[in-house]
Amino acid sequence: MPLLRAAAKLGGLWRRRAITGAAAIAVAVVAGILTLATKNNWWSYTMAVGFIAALLAYGSLLLPASTAAQNGLPPSAPEGGSNPKGT
């Protein structure tokens, strides 16, 4: 998965949030398959919770960048990462 490879290069909080989002999507996909196979509505609920968890995890990755941009500050580079613009 390209997302997990990219997250491995990031540090700390960014990495944990990216991996959490990917795991939540994996849970949602498996729950969706189980919903179709078993016709059990609880798996459908689990699928919805998985997608909501992924939305929150990936949304939290965007929040620090958008908050810094509103304040007129450049977003900080992730821990151990490099700044691609060289500023």
Per-residue pLDDT of the chain (87 residues; tens, 9 = 90+): 666 666 667 677 778 888 889 999 999 999 999 999 999 999 999 999 999 999 999 888 877 655 555 555 555 555 555 555 555
Residue 29 has a pLDDT of 96
CA distances from 84 to 31, 38, 73, 87 (A): 38, 48, 16, 8
One-letter amino acid at 79 equals E
Residue 13 located in a structural domain: yes
Instruction: Give the count of alpha carbons within 13 A of 52, CB side only.
Output: 6
How far apart are alpha carbons 71 and 59 in whole angstroms? 19
Number of structural domains the chain divides into: 1
Domain with 10, as residue range(s), is: 2-65
Q: Give the pLDDT of residue 80.
A: 52
- Does 14 map to a domain? yes
Q: Is 16 a domain residue? A: yes
pTM of the model: 0.63
